[in-house]
Amino acid sequence: MPAVADPGAALVRAAHTAGVKVVPLVGPSSLLLALAASGLNGQSFAFAGYLPAEAAARTIRLRELEAASRRAGQTQLMIETPYRNTALVEALVAQLAPSTQLSVSCGLTLSGGFTRTDAVAAWRSRPTALPADIPAIFAFLAA
């Protein structure tokens, strides 16, 4: 699914502009796999993409997304470059409300892939280390 979460959308848009027929192919989408494995609301969700790398801007964005999640009962999905997995999960655990449900799916199509969904309070008391070289999908649903 190169048109989701990467610059592939620009290529698809250019194909439409040029009158080229666009045919999406069925295949695994890590976003939907993670959502399905999370146990969070799959009827209403939003993909926030990459959050700001700078801590203060990331905190502001997380607060906006958590408020939107609470207001709409909507799961928020995001991704990060693998080498920043730890920074993002630490920010999520530090910034989100203790009752917010946080789900992290890592390497889902790999033999050691996993999903953990738990309240932020539980993540605080029992952190899970994430690899710096395997993609992860992060999701949360505010209570």
pLDDT tens string, the chain, 143 residues long: the values are 566 766 778 888 899 999 999 887 766 688 999 999 999 999 999 999 999 999 999 999 999 999 999 999 999 999 999 999 999 999 999 999 999 999 999 999 899 999 999 999 999 999 999 999 999 999 999 98
- The values of phi and psi at residue 102, to 5°, are -115, 130
At a CB cut-off of 8 Å and minimum separation 6, what does 69 contact?
75, 76, 100, 140, 141, 142
Amino acid at 121: A
Amino acid at 83: Y
How far apart, in whole angstroms, are the C-alpha atoms of residue 19 and residue 54? Answer: 40
CATH number of 27-141: 3.30.950.10
What is the structure's pLDDT at 118?
98
